[in-house]
Amino acid sequence: MSNTSDQMELREELIREKYGAAELLLDGFDHTPRLAKKADTKAKPERSSGIGTRRRFRSTTPGLVTKSTARPEGVHIGNRVTTSTEDDPLVSPLQASVLHGMRRALATAMLVSDQYADQTGLTELMKDNLAGSLARGKQIEFSELLAASSLISLHVFANMTSFLLANTYADSSDISVEIGEVEEVLTDNPHLALTGALWELDQDLALFATSDDKLIPVVTAFLEKLMEKVSLRAANTPRLEGFTAASYRVEDDDFEIEGFTPAARGKSTTLVMTFKKPNEIVGNHIAKYQAMKLSKMLMAYDFKRKLNPFAELGGFIFTFMGDGAPGTGKTILIQMMAGLINDYCENAGYVFRYQNLSTDSIDSYQGKSAQNAKAFVKNIIDPGVIGFGTIDDIDQLAGKRGDRQSSAGQLEITAVLMESFAGANTVVRGNCTFGMFSNYPENVDDALRQRATARFLVDGPQSRADYIDILHLLMGKNHNIPVGKHNLFEAQQIKKAVAASYGSHAKPHEQGLLNVFDRVSSDIGKLDTIAKLGTYLKAIQEVDERFTGRAIKNITDAVKVRAMDFELPDEWMENTEVFLTKDYDTKRNMISELSKPITVDMVIQEINRYADSEFRYADKSDEIAIENMVRDFGRQEEAKRRYVKGKR
């Protein structure tokens, strides 16, 4: 990721030079649709001379491509925006904001497109083509550069307009609008690309923006769909390296262009949550320790470089799974971690965003559940914030493929989370983390569960000392009952407790895995080389076929976390000048000095921790299936007995 100092500033005077061309597009142009289908309805009475009120319609069927026989018809996007409120002849502040944002975004898109053309030689090719002297050998290059420039224009326009309207949209309405897919994405040249997009936006405004409060929701929904479509096209379009490798900035708007990554204004969420302190959690030593470390890791994120040194050095936890029986402390762990990050961000002046993907996100409308999940992920991964996203009771929210009881909405959410957590386009910057929590992780789709790079076993209080400590903690102070022979909270000393917890994984906990471990150790001796460790891993895979290469990656990521097995000092969080305000390279060097070498013991412990969890899930899943079958057989026998008895 480029540093801010490497960004090319788009000078204000050059943007304003494009205002005239942008205003012409907003004022009116002719466009005959080529990919989208338009259906007209009866025209409404004219409000005044020259201002039409006809609502134009288009098909919202995804992927529909038709040859249109529609005649070219004037598109007056400016008039369309200002007539969204038909009972008010004056332009509202909301309408003015939309037009101002669109004009500025169009001008910026034209400027970026021109600079791309100058850098790639497209400008000279366009001159040759206009003069009729374009060499035949240059025609393919010319066509590819025009397509690339078209996509750049579309994305910059949609990205900047959405960015400029973000605050207005958040303050004006919570309305959700379904507009269907964007179809009129043309790549012949940048001008035609912009006119096609504006024509389709005009269609959507006519159909959906029936009142002023729906204006920005419709515009924003269209722009998001347009950015998604353009990004998909860009993935298979050549000659875009000159744009994606560069970084641009519009200083007056605090707007940055980083390839086809959507920009967003950083806004904190208002948390309505009871925060918990680490000393209020008894037991769950490893889970608590890793949550505390991860909270501080997030604060190492560098907003200028848009990268976290932990993500570069290794050891950053992007996704984790917290599992345990009901009542063992998953909710309180979320409250602790959110509280720590919130306090750190307040001290540093960072924007913190927390969101939980709940079962309310499941919708019966086809595609809506996926849309809700995408919005959740997009909200958390925003590079302008520190993000913490949770999916509580994920076994109820995300469907298990092949399970007939999983609804279409649940399967949509599963697909989105799998792609977002470890997909081809997943970028881990280190500014956010996602926690999946479940009482029944065996009911989570195997592939989705393996997207969790870290496992937090939330097993609650375990020892006698844990139960005494939690009883004393929850009893409060309104009593005179003596503690007795016990040193309060000595067992909760985090470093001592964590060392004991890690040490317990020198041998597996689950019987099935312990059998494999003992057999391999007996055959090849102490596991003290890469070859022997690999042999152990292969033996696990022979017993559990789900133990694939992704499992090995998760284990090695966990080992790298152990190499970073230290908490950033509290002083670094409290005094911002010590660490948080340092430049990226200084932060990276400070963290590197604290890292520890990887040992064989670390590797064995992490193999056993991860494999134990998978064996535990499999055993639970099998046991539940057996119990269900036994129950069914019992019902069948009872039904036969009653049937025979009734016949007598």
175-212 pLDDT, tens digit each: 667 788 899 999 999 999 999 999 999 999 988 888 87
Give the C-alpha separation, 367 to 364, whole Å.
9
HEC string of 244-276 equals: HCCCEEEHHHCEEEECCECCCCCCCCCCCCCCC
Percent of the chain's residues with pLDDT above 70: 86
Q: In Å, how far from its chain's centre is CA 441?
A: 21
Give pLDDT tens digits for 407-444.
888 999 999 999 999 887 788 999 999 999 988 888 88
What's the confidence (pLDDT) of residue 323? 83
**Cβ neighbour number for residue 464 with a 10 Å cutoff:** 10
Q: Is the pLDDT of residue 51 over 60?
A: no
Percent of the chain's residues with pLDDT above 90: 39
What's the confidence (pLDDT) of residue 258? 85
What's the confidence (pLDDT) of residue 175? 63
49 — pLDDT class (breaks 50, 70, 90): very low
Greater confidence, 66 or 448?
448
Q: Is the pLDDT of residue 170 over 60?
A: no
What's the confidence (pLDDT) of residue 172? 46
Tell me which range, 122-126, 354-358, 541-545, 612-616, is most confidently predicted by mean pLDDT. 122-126
Say which residues have a Cβ less than 8 Å from residue 256's Cβ, sequence separation at least 6.
Answer: 7, 247, 248, 249, 250, 263
Least trusted range by pLDDT, from 177-186, 454-463, 489-498 = 489-498
Q: Name the nearest CA neighbour of 62 among 398, 371, 363, 378.
A: 371
Phi, psi for 542 (deg, rounded to 5): -70, -25
Q: Return mean pLDDT, the chain.
A: 83
Q: Is the pLDDT of residue 515 over 50?
A: yes
What's the confidence (pLDDT) of residue 59? 36
What's the confidence (pLDDT) of residue 52? 39
What's the confidence (pLDDT) of residue 495? 64
**Residue type for position 154:** L
| Class of CATH domain 278-625 | alpha beta
Give pLDDT tens digits for 263-303.
865 555 555 566 777 777 777 777 888 888 899 999 999 99
Least trusted range by pLDDT, from 36-45, 76-85, 340-349 = 36-45
Sign, CA dihedral 485-490-496-497, equals positive
What's the confidence (pLDDT) of residue 40? 52
Average of pLDDT values for 346-370?
A: 87
Average of pLDDT values for 599-608?
A: 91
Q: Is the pLDDT of residue 71 over 60?
A: no
What string of DSSP letters covers 511-566?
HHHHHHHHHHHHHH-S--SHHHHHHHHHHHHHH-TT--HHHHHHHHHHHHHHHT-S
622 — pLDDT class (breaks 50, 70, 90): low
Contacts within 8 Å (CB) and 24+ apart, 562-565: 562/596, 562/598, 562/602, 562/605, 562/606, 563/314, 563/315, 563/595, 563/596, 563/597, 563/598, 563/602, 564/293, 564/297, 564/310, 564/313, 564/314, 564/315, 564/591, 564/594, 564/595, 564/596, 565/596
319 — pLDDT class (breaks 50, 70, 90): very high
Q: Is the pLDDT of residue 174 over 80?
A: no
What's the confidence (pLDDT) of residue 202? 93
> Where does the chain hold its CATH 3.40.50.300 domain(s)?
278-625
Least trusted range by pLDDT, from 125-134, 360-369, 536-545 = 360-369
Average of pLDDT values for 153-158?
A: 96
Q: Any alpha helices (H) in 59-188, and if so which ranges?
A: 77-82, 93-120, 122-131, 139-172
Q: Is the pLDDT of residue 93 over 80?
A: yes
Q: Name the nearest CA neighbour of 249 among 263, 232, 270, 239.
A: 263
What's the confidence (pLDDT) of residue 547? 84
625 — pLDDT class (breaks 50, 70, 90): low
Give the C-alpha separation, 476 to 464, whole Å.
19
Give the C-alpha separation, 509 to 503, whole Å.
12
**The model scores a pTM over 0.85:** no
What's the confidence (pLDDT) of residue 358? 85
What's the confidence (pLDDT) of residue 270? 55
3-class state of residue 75 by DSSP: strand
What's the confidence (pLDDT) of residue 167? 60
What's the confidence (pLDDT) of residue 610? 85
What string of DSSP letters covers 213-255?
GGHHHHHHHHHHHHHHHHHHHHTT-SS-HHHHT--EEEGGGTE
Average of pLDDT values for 106-133?
A: 95
What's the confidence (pLDDT) of residue 60? 36
What's the confidence (pLDDT) of residue 178? 78
Under DSSP, the state recorded for 359 is G
Give pLDDT tens digits for 565-595.
677 888 998 898 999 999 999 999 999 888 8
Q: Is the pLDDT of residue 61 over 80?
A: no
Q: Is the pLDDT of residue 351 over 70?
A: yes
**Cβ neighbour number for residue 178 with a 10 Å cutoff:** 11
Give the C-alpha separation, 72 to 86, whole Å.
26
Q: Is 455 exposed, middle or buried (0-12, 13-18, 19+ CB in 10 A)?
A: buried
Average of pLDDT values for 610-622?
A: 72
